[in-house]
C-alpha cells in the first residue's frame, strides 16, 4: 500500500479529530486506529476482488468514511457502513463493466 496515501489519510483524520475537540495526541491515536480499520476493510475487499486497485479502494473508502466521521464518533459503525457501501458499488461496477465490455 502506498505510504504517501496512508500518511495523507492519517493527517486528514487527525485534523477532523482535532476539530472535534481532541488533543493532538488523542487525535493522532484516533487517526491511527481509524486508518488501520480502513486498511483492514480494504484488505477484506481486495481478498474478494483481487483484480481491483487497492489504492483506489482505500481512497474511496476513506472519502466516504471522512464524510461520516465528521458527524459520528463510532469508528466501527462507520467502517461497517462504508464497507457495505463500497462492496455494493463494486458489484454495480462489475455489472456495468460486463455490460459494456465490448466498448473500445
Annotated domain spans of the chain: 3-99
**Res 7 pLDDT > 80:** yes
Other CB atoms within 10 Å distance of the CB of residue 34: 24
Average pLDDT over residues 68-88: 94
The pTM for the full model equals: 0.89
Average pLDDT over residues 25-51: 96
Rounded to whole angstroms, the Cα distance separating 79 from 22 reads 20
**Res 68 pLDDT > 70:** yes
**Res 91 pLDDT > 80:** yes
**Res 27 pLDDT > 70:** yes
Amino acid at each position: 500500500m502506498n505510504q504517501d496515501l496512508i500518511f495523507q489519510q492519517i493527517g486528514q483524520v487527525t485534523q477532523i479529530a482535532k476539530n472535534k475537540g481532541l488533543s493532538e495526541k488523542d487525535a493522532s491515536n484516533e487517526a491511527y486506529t481509524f486508518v488501520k480499520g480502513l486498511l483492514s476493510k480494504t484488505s477484506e475487499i481486495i481478498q474478494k476482488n483481487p483484480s481491483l486497485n487497492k489504492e483506489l479502494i482505500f481512497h474511496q473508502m476513506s472519502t466516504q468514511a471522512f464524510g461520516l466521521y465528521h458527524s459520528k464518533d463510532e469508528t466501527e459503525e462507520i467502517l461497517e457502513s462504508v464497507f457495505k457501501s463500497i462492496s455494493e458499488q463494486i458489484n454495480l461496477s462489475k455489472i456495468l463493466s460486463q455490460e459494456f465490455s465490448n466498448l473500445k
